[in-house]
Structure 1
Amino acid sequence: MTCSADSRSIDVIEILARLRRLSAAEEFFAVLGVSYDPKVLNVSRLHVMKRMGQYLANEDLSGLPDRVIAARAKATLKRAYEDFAIASPLTHRVFKVLKDHDPAKASTPGRAFVAFDSVMNRFERK
């Protein structure tokens, strides 16, 4: 199942102000007219929105017409969604907590990871 919105035109008037007032990921997809699979969004919604914000932060939108801003916002949302539609959030590690606990990275001295199971084993043996 997909939620399709790509074919309809979007209202571009004051698009940045309107995007700032949104809270649910689905609202961003609806306002920008981007299709999505609810299954993908249910798993990766925060990651998609964070990545979209990262992509938009690299855009210089000052002084651009609303239609251009809307097109760029739509493109960044599509790009962010596609990142997580093809790979898991663990692959991209958008959030600091995931970056800090990358199993491929050596642990920081003095902050070694202790598996929960190893702690529980101490209590179960007694």
Structure 2
Amino acid sequence: MSFKDDFEDLESAEDFLTFLGVTYERRVVDVNRLHILQRFHDYLAADTGLESLTDDADLAARHRAHLERAYRDFMASTGVAEKTFKVHQQQAERMSDRFVLLDSLMS
């Protein structure tokens, strides 16, 4: 089987991390699994050179790098702080609408 075939069979965050050989702490994954997978997806989608890779080892290395980066994003942060999902982005926009800059009051 090819990398792509094996990759398509993965389901959980732990499956992806194990398959790609990314060392992880369970506590980080337990709290952030969906955020890690969403960020991983975002990184893959933004990688314009990914589609041109044909070698399984190159594909695996590129996927591993993106997953490691996504995992690291949540080692010291949260999904809300990172605004991973649209609902978090919308919440941040609503909150920013509620604040008035001090400079605007002084004018």
Alignment partner of 1:38 is 2:26: yes
Q: Note the residue ranges of structure 1 that are not aligned, 5 or more in a row.
A: 1-12, 108-126
- Counterpart selection for 2:69 from 68, 72, 79: 79
Q: Distance in 2 between matches of 1:24 and 1:48?
A: 11
- Counterpart selection for 2:8 from 20, 23, 38: 20
Q: Distance in 2 between matches of 1:14 and 1:54?
A: 23
Which residue matches 2:105? none
User: Secondary structure at 1:86's aligned position in 2?
Assistant: coil
User: Secondary structure at 1:53's aligned position in 2?
Assistant: helix
The TM-score with structure 1 as length reference comes to: 0.70
- Counterpart selection for 2:82 from 84, 92, 115: 92
Q: Note the residue ranges of structure 2 that are not aligned, 5 or more in a row.
A: 99-107
Q: Distance in 1 between matches of 2:43 and 2:5?
A: 18
Shift of 1:24: 0.8
The TM-score with structure 2 as length reference comes to: 0.81
What letter is aligned with 1:32?
L
Larger RCO, structures 1/2 (Cα 8 Å, 6+ apart):
2
Runs of 4+ displaced beyond 3 Å? none
Shift of 1:57: 0.8
Alignment partner of 1:61 is 2:50: yes
Alignment partner of 1:29 is 2:20: no
Q: Distance in 2 between matches of 1:14 and 1:86?
A: 34
Shift of 1:71: 0.1
RMSD: 1.5
